[in-house]
Amino acid sequence: MPDTMIQAEGLVKIYKTKETEVLALQGLDLTVEEGELTALIGNSGSGKSTFLNMIGGLDRPSAGSLLVAGKNLFTMTEKELVVYKRDTVGFVWQNNARNLLPYLSAVENIMLPMHLSEGKQKKERALMLLDMVGMSAKKNSRLNTLSGGEQQRIAIAIALANSPRLLLADEPTGSVDPKTANYIFDVFMELNRQGQTILIVTHDVALSKKVKRVVAIRDGKISSERILKEKYADRLKEAVIDWRTEETQEEYAIVDKAGRVQIPREILNAMELTDNKVRLEYQDGKVIISRPVEDLLTRDEAE
């Protein structure tokens, strides 16, 4: 059985200013097993980037529990956190300026984060990583001579420099064309096939529909999960599939530990509720959510 890579329970994050408090995460629960490739989706302000930053050791939780690779991010000292960010997680940013130093070549950028290795070993690993992401021919190139997609592939190699147990990617295809996005996704898929655990935040519809597990965050909580249908699992590279339009995944609502379910906004709008009350019934193995009887009577009388 695989080990648990990420275990978040009741995770809360509050940002405070002089005038207000913002609740970015509101009791988020999520488990990611070692070897999974998981995508996080959600609207701006949903909490997905906050969650990713916490896993990356860039932000501290306010309450709850967060374990990554067995390490407790609540109890780490600053020194332990530095080692954690260096050895346990690798980060690929959407903004390539955060990934690459412009005055270094591609191979020098990859060698930079490596530690406790002799120069020859660093160079050999850097060249191996460049080959892995299909960038061997650009090993001596600098930032201003590379396209956005090429920079992003080198950024992936940099994130893998210290063999992290968990690779985090924040909108890795957000600033590249669809063809390059497909290539970058193929790199992630190959890394995952080799056993790399990967967590991606993305708005890319085509990319998210290819991922075996997609977790949706809404209002600081996990609202639903999408699981790739079995018939698509071995067809990820088929050009005949329109990944933006086909329904490739089954979607499941998530029941939290308090028994709560988030109802999608489009369903609530269709129900035309006059307040925040609904009826719940269990019939023939189904949970039925409907408007209150008196609400329906009032509407019928008005009509």
Q: Give residue 116's pLDDT.
A: 55
Q: How many domains does the chain have?
A: 3
Q: Is residue 97 part of a domain?
A: no
The two structure tokens encoding residue 255: 């029941």
Q: Is residue 118 part of a domain?
A: yes
Task: Return d(Cα 127, Cα 20) in angstroms, integer.
Answer: 49
- What pLDDT score was predicted for residue 188? 92
Residue finishing a domain among 146, 163, 180: 163
* Residue 95 covered by a domain: no
Mean pLDDT is lowest, of 113-127, 178-192, 212-226, for 113-127
Q: Is residue 200 part of a domain?
A: yes
pTM of the model as a whole: 0.87
- The share of the chain scoring above pLDDT 70, in percent, equals 94
Give the residue from 163, 196, 212 where a domain finishes: 163
**Is residue 55 domain-shared with residue 36, that is, in the same domain?**
yes
The model's pLDDT over 42-65, given as tens digits with 9 standing for 90+, comes to 888 888 889 999 999 988 888 999
Say whether pLDDT at 8 is over 90: yes
Confirm whether 209 is domain-assigned.
yes
Average pLDDT over residues 220-230: 90
Mark whether 154 and 173 lie in a shared domain.
no
Residue 145 belongs to a domain = yes
What is d(CA 85, CA 62) in angstroms, rounded to the nearest whole number?
A: 19
The CATH number that applies at residue 224 is 3.40.50.300
Range of the domain at 155: 102-163
Task: Say whether both 204 and 248 belong to one domain.
Answer: yes
Q: How many CA atoms lie within 13 A of 165 on its CB side?
A: 18
Q: What integer pLDDT is reported at residue 294 of this predicted model?
A: 64
Picking from 32, 52, 67, 58, the residue whose alpha carbon sits closest to that of residue 211 is 32
- E-only strand ranges, 229-278: 249-253
Same domain, 256 and 173: yes
Does residue 79 sit in the same domain as residue 186?
Answer: yes
pLDDT of residue 148: 85
Shared-domain flag, residues 81 and 62: yes
- The pLDDT of 185-189, averaged and rounded, is 90
135 lies in the same domain as 149: yes
Whether residues 82 and 194 fall in one domain: yes
Whether 94 is in a domain gets the answer: no
Clarify whether residues 169 and 67 are in a common domain.
Answer: yes
Q: Is residue 11 part of a domain?
A: yes
What dihedral angle (degrees, nearest 10) is formed by the CA atoms of 42, 47, 53, 55?
Answer: -90
Residue 219: per-residue pLDDT: 87
The predicted model gives 256-266 an average pLDDT of 84
When pLDDT is averaged across residues 230-244 and rounded to a whole number, the result is 82
Would you say how long the chain is, in residues? 303
Judged against a pLDDT cut of 80, whether residue 256 lies above it is answered with yes
How far is residue 278's CA from residue 299's CA, in Å, rounded to a whole number?
15
**Do 82 and 198 belong together in one domain?**
yes
At residue 298 the predicted structure's pLDDT band, cuts being 50, 70 and 90, is low
Tens digits of residue pLDDT in 91-146: 998 777 677 888 889 999 998 888 655 567 888 889 999 998 988 999 999 888 88
Same domain, 146 and 193: no
| pLDDT score for 276 | 85
* Predicted confidence band of residue 214 (pLDDT cuts 50, 70, 90): very high
Rg, Å, the chain Cα set: 22
Single out the residue in 123, 141, 163 at which a domain terminates.
163
Identify residue 214 by its one-letter amino acid code.
V
Taking residues 202-227, what's their average pLDDT? Answer: 90
SS3 147: coil
Strand order across the beta sheet in which 4-16 lies: 21-33, 4-16, 63-68, 71-72
Measured CA distances, 226 to 254, 265, 283 (Å): 10, 17, 25
150 lies in the same domain as 289: no
